[in-house]
Structure 1
Amino acid sequence: MKNFAMIGAAGYIAPRHMKAIKETGNHLVAALDKNDSVGIIDSYFPEADFFTEYERFDRHIDLLKRSGTQIDYVSIATPNYLHDSHIRFALRNDAHAICEKPLVLNPHNIDALQIVQEETGKQVYNILQLRLHQSIIDLKAYVADEIAKNPNKIFDVDLTYLTSRGHWYFNSWKGDDNKSGGIATNIGVHFYDMLGWVFGELKQNEAHLKQQDSSAGYLEFKHAKVRWFLSVNYDYIPEEIKASGQRTYRSITVDGNEIEFSGGFTDLHTKSYEHIINGGGFGLEEARKSIEIVSSIRNQDIVTNTSDIHPFVSKVLSK
């Protein structure tokens, strides 16, 4: 049984981490969040110590270590801009870090964390759960098989992801680009990681739309041309999806064929934890490509004179 601490226990994704710790047969010793709406802890680890102040949490972890209770892993589910600092906290307390996506906001943060990782001998792991989704594993195998037949094969890919959010979203840290990295970073980074994992080296990156609630662009990998569209605006969800009562729409087409991956998400954090604890996991270098992509999207100018624009962009521009 491994001992875990957790930073960020009150957010949307935190219960998935608690569930993963529980289902892998491990123990949550202490948790931190500035918000105290964390009753969910009772469903998993009611004995865990809880703190709302970083200073007291820091002291507690130090006292535990000095009394012989070593924290093996720190799970990090805090706002994106704090990940870098909280990863450092984990490493400097002789614990491995398991961090939500995006790992960090900029590539230079990865370079700096590599130094701390080497100094401490502890590892940084990123939750890149789509690499463990069976539909994506099958897609990667299919793509590899097609490339073996034709090394010059280029796939045409459309990625569309809409996950509706209410007005609260834009008044939270997620609506602040300096804290979340914007739509492309906050809800898109694991898709970009998946695309690079499946289709190879990035060749081109264009941004076609950057609004507070929507983002779109074009990515060209060694073996794929990708039009992508991301949004948290319910208005852009297809009418047939709305009619079914759903508020989320995911679609990936490869050469016009839909890749079914709407299900199978609820257990991916547990699979991620199992992968890490059993000697696998995705580290700093695995995370680098996706962080480079989102950083470039965030900092580049919009391109409009192109034929590679995702068809959903017209929904936004005509609004």
Structure 2
Amino acid sequence: MKRFALIGAAGFVAERHIRAIKETGNELVCAMDTFDVMGRMDSYFPEAEFVTSEEELVEFLQSAKEKGESVDYISICSPNYLHIKHIELALKNGCDVICEKPLVIDSEDLDKIKEWEAESRKKVNTVLQLRYHPTILKLKNEIEQSDKDFFDIDLKYITSRGKWYFKSWKGDVTKSGGIATNIGIHFFDMLTWIFGEVQQNNVSVYEATKSSGELILEKAKVNWFLSLDSNDLPEVATKAGKRTFRSIKVDGKEIEFSDGFTDLHTVTYQQILAGNGFGVVDAGESIRLTELRNFNPLAH
């Protein structure tokens, strides 16, 4: 049984991590968040310590180490811009890391993490759960076995957000990385994993609520569109009362993977605990790709 601490326990994605810790038979011994209404903890680890500052968390980690009860892993679910700071905190306190995507906002920070890993002899793992999705694994296998050398991809992802979004850190490009980082990084990672490294990245639209462009990979041309605006939802989604629409077509054929999209964190934890986690190098290509905000004045 491994002992976990978790940073960002009140966030939307944190419950998936807490559940994964529980379902893999491990223990969450301490959770940290500046937001202190944390009733969700009672359903999973009611005995876990709870702190509201990084200073208190470090004190807990040091005290646990002195008692011979060191924390093995720190799971990071904090806002995107804080990931680099919390990764450093974890490694300097002798813990391995499981960090939500994006691992960092700026690719230049990846080299820092490699240095910290070498110094601490600990590993930083990131969550790239689409790589475990059965449909995506099947697609990767089909592409590898295909006689074709090049494919046409159409990606559309529309996930409606309310007015709260733009008053939160998510709506601040300096804190979230912008729309491509916030909602696109899953798909960009999956596409570069299957179809190879980026050759060209042509952005046609980059606004606060939507972005689109053409991406040339080693084995594919990708036309992509991302949106937070419900007005962009197709009729098939609105008629069904849905506020999210995902579509990936490969040479005109729809790849259906809506089911199971949110249920892969436990598999991710199982793989990491078995020594098969995805790390800094794996995360790099999609992080560099989402830096397209830096090449467009509209991104700011």
- TM-score of the aligned structures, taking structure 1 as reference length: 0.92
Letter in 1 for 2:68: G
Deviation digits for residues 41-74 of structure 1 (CA, Å, limit 9, x no counterpart): 1111000000112211211111111111111110
Match of 1:125 in 2: 125
1:266 to 262, 268, 272: 262
Match of 1:300 in 2: 295
Structure 1 ranges of 4+ moved more than 2 A: none
- TM-score of the aligned structures, taking structure 2 as reference length: 0.97
Structure 1 residue 267: deviation in Å?
Answer: 2.2
| C-alpha distance in 2 between matches for 1:302 and 1:252 | 28
Is structure 2 residue 69 aligned with structure 1 residue 69?
A: yes
Letter in 1 for 2:104: V
Match of 2:191 in 1: 195
1:84-103 aligned at under 5 Å gives the runs 84-103=84-103
- The 8 Å contact of residues 206 and 302 in structure 1, kept in 2 or not, is answered as no
| C-alpha distance in 1 between matches for 2:124 and 2:227 | 29
Structure 1 residue 233: deviation in Å?
Answer: 1.1
State the secondary structure of the residue aligned to 1:30. Answer: strand
- The 8 Å contact of residues 64 and 70 in structure 1, kept in 2 or not, is answered as yes
Structure 1 residue 112: deviation in Å?
Answer: 0.8
State the secondary structure of the residue aligned to 1:282. Answer: coil
Deviation digits for residues 11-32 of structure 1 (CA, Å, limit 9, x no counterpart): 1101000000000000000010
Match of 2:218 in 1: 222
Where structure 1 has 5 or more consecutive residues not aligned to the other structure, the ranges are 304-319
| C-alpha distance in 2 between matches for 1:173 and 1:5 | 23
Q: Taking structure 1 as reference, are residues 233 and 298 closer, same or farther at Cα in structure 2, changes over 3 Å only?
A: same
| C-alpha distance in 2 between matches for 1:165 and 1:201 | 31
Structure 1 residue 167: deviation in Å?
Answer: 0.6
Match of 2:151 in 1: 155
| C-alpha distance in 2 between matches for 1:300 and 1:56 | 40
| C-alpha distance in 1 between matches for 2:100 and 2:132 | 15
Match of 1:291 in 2: 287
- The 8 Å contact of residues 206 and 296 in structure 2, kept in 1 or not, is answered as no
Match of 1:245 in 2: 241
State the secondary structure of the residue aligned to 2:211. Answer: strand
Is structure 2 residue 171 aligned with structure 1 residue 175?
A: yes
| C-alpha distance in 2 between matches for 1:226 and 1:53 | 43
State the secondary structure of the residue aligned to 1:25. Answer: coil
2:251 to 252, 255, 261: 255
| C-alpha distance in 1 between matches for 2:103 and 2:258 | 24
1:209 to 195, 205, 210: 205
1:16-165 aligned at under 5 Å gives the runs 16-146=16-146, 149-150=147-148, 153-165=149-161
| C-alpha distance in 2 between matches for 1:178 and 1:287 | 20
Deviation digits for residues 231-265 of structure 1 (CA, Å, limit 9, x no counterpart): 11111100221110111100000000000101012
Count of matched residue pairs: 298
Letter in 1 for 2:208: Q
Deviation digits for residues 123-160 of structure 1 (CA, Å, limit 9, x no counterpart): 000100110101100000010011xx24xx21000111
| C-alpha distance in 1 between matches for 2:123 and 2:53 | 25
Comparing 199-208 and 283-292, the one that deviates more: 199-208
State the secondary structure of the residue aligned to 1:5. Answer: strand
Deviation digits for residues 75-123 of structure 1 (CA, Å, limit 9, x no counterpart): 0000000000101111111111100000001111001110000000000
1:279 to 267, 275, 280: 275
Letter in 1 for 2:50: F
RMSD: 1.1
State the secondary structure of the residue aligned to 1:101. Answer: coil
| C-alpha distance in 2 between matches for 1:109 and 1:266 | 27
Sequence identity percentage: 51
State the secondary structure of the residue aligned to 1:227. Answer: strand
| C-alpha distance in 1 between matches for 2:6 and 2:296 | 38
| C-alpha distance in 2 between matches for 1:84 and 1:209 | 28
Where structure 2 has 5 or more consecutive residues not aligned to the other structure, the ranges are none
